[in-house]
Amino acid sequence: MAKSMATILMDYTNAKQQASKLEEAAARLKRLANSDLEGALNNIGAAWSGDSANLYLQKGRNLKDQILRTAAQIENAAAAIRTTAQNTYNADKAAADLAAAASAAAAAAGGSSGGGFRP
């Protein structure tokens, strides 16, 4: 059975909302990495020196890079969800339009699409 237009639109809207939530999470991660973590690393670098400080700061910068890569992957997932949602919406809408056209054509022809027995 074909989906109703209400169901098609609801599925599409839900997918877009989920993509938006992922994009918001990625933006928060980027802000944390570029602002909070970078600020903390700068403060540590100003207050602590030596080999141990350099190793610690390098680990912190590696963590920042990893967080930014994760944020980019989340953004890619959100974009994939948006693309899939749009493609699914287009396909479902086309199927619903075809079903409506077939139903209208059958009604206009005065026939039934039931295929029942006729003596």
For the chain, the structural domain boundaries read 20-91
Q: What is the pLDDT of residues 68-119, one digit of tens each?
A: 999 999 999 999 999 999 999 999 999 999 988 998 999 998 755 555 444 5
Q: What is the pLDDT of residues 3-52, one digit of tens each?
A: 888 999 999 999 999 999 999 999 999 999 999 999 999 999 999 999 99
Q: Which two tokens stand for residue 31?
A: 């802000």
Report the C-alpha gap between 93 and 85 in whole angstroms: 12
